[in-house]
Amino acid sequence: MIGRLNHVAIAVPDLEAAADQYRTALGANVGAPQDEPDHGVTVIFIDLPNTKIELLYPLGENSPIQGFLDKNPSGGIHHVCYEVDDILAARDQLQATGARVLGTGEPKIGAHGKPVLFLHPKDFNGCLVELEQV
Amino acid sequence: MIGRLNHVAIAVPDLEAAADQYRTALGANVGAPQDEPDHGVTVIFIDLPNTKIELLYPLGENSPIQGFLDKNPSGGIHHVCYEVDDILAARDQLQATGARVLGTGEPKIGAHGKPVLFLHPKDFNGCLVELEQV
């Protein structure tokens, strides 16, 4: 069911410093910051030859990653995103195995303008999993 | 400097259950367990179309991931691995920016039979980074 790894997201305490480190010390192709007010984050995508790294920084109050940064002040790997062809079919199939979907269970539109869902980390080895329909 | 994302590693408390979940619920292409006594882990690679997921489980006493699982009993995302062309040049370039290399600073042979190094997570947004020479 799952296809490509769309991205790995890393929550960072200083977005500009993290972007600069990936650009200069690690020599990667770093994009521009994008505010995603519906998700409470500012993101920067880093293009690797086969996938992307998404740097995440809180935007506004009640950002869903503020709690993560409070617990992990240096930052940390926040989630992985797998691509699926049909997000509703994937959701239904996973829920049938007992996996929990976060929020209302209905897809939202993600940073790439495509439907996304998040799965409960306790059901996936402590790993927050995002599904994105491509 | 960094090239492809070689893999994302997820430490899991039950290797067989995690492999079965990726195989059946997530429909992925899951390999066989490989013991890596030099690294204190048993690994299973999951082939995605563009990269790999590495499931990690402790092997033997003093496994370097036992402490991580003690802190994260459900498991969690443990590290990301970036490919580099020349691991010694990459190390020297990163050390010149102040980044710390774990262990002796000399590459070890990793799960793919290639030289690897780990960088200190505090220097990379709380994210443990492995470099693998390809």
Which of B10, B26, B85 has the most A C-beta neighbours within 10 Å, making it the best mutation to test the interface with A?
A: B26
Contact at 8 Å (CB) between A35 and A54?
A: no
In DSSP terms, which residues pair with A83 in a beta bridge?
Answer: A132
Average pLDDT for residues A20-33, to the nearest whole number? Answer: 97
Average pLDDT for residues B26-50, to the nearest whole number? Answer: 96
Say yes or no to pLDDT of B111 above 90: no
Residues of A in contact with B71 (CB under 8 A): none
pLDDT the model gives residue B107? 96
CA distance to B3, B34, B50, per residue, from B40 (Å): 27, 11, 27
User: What are the residue ranges spanned by the domains of chain A?
Assistant: 5-133
Element (H, E) at B108: strand B108-109
Could A5 and B51 be called an inter-chain contact, meaning their C-beta atoms sit closer than 8 Å? yes
pLDDT the model gives residue B32? 98
Query: Could you give the CA distance from residue B123 to residue B77 in angstroms, rounded to a whole number?
Result: 17
Could B125 and A13 be called an inter-chain contact, meaning their C-beta atoms sit closer than 8 Å? yes
User: DSSP string spanning A50-85?
Assistant: SSEEEEEEE-STT-TTHHHHHH-TT-EEEEEEEEES
Is B61 an active-site residue?
no
Dihedral sign of CA atoms A56, A59, A65, A71 in order: positive
Homologous superfamily (CATH) of A5-133 is 2,3-Dihydroxybiphenyl 1,2-Dioxygenase, domain 1 (3.10.180.10)
Query: Could you give the CA distance from residue B42 to residue A79 in angstroms, rounded to a whole number?
Result: 23
Contact at 8 Å (CB) between A120 and A103?
A: no
- Pick from A25, A82, A126: CB nearest B74: A126
pLDDT the model gives residue A106? 95
pLDDT the model gives residue B119? 97
- Alpha-carbon distance A100 to nearest alpha carbon in chain B (angstroms): 13
Say yes or no to pLDDT of B38 above 90: no
User: pLDDT tens-digit profile of A73-117?
Assistant: 999 999 999 999 999 999 999 999 999 999 999 999 988 889 999
Contact B66/A at CB under 8 A: no
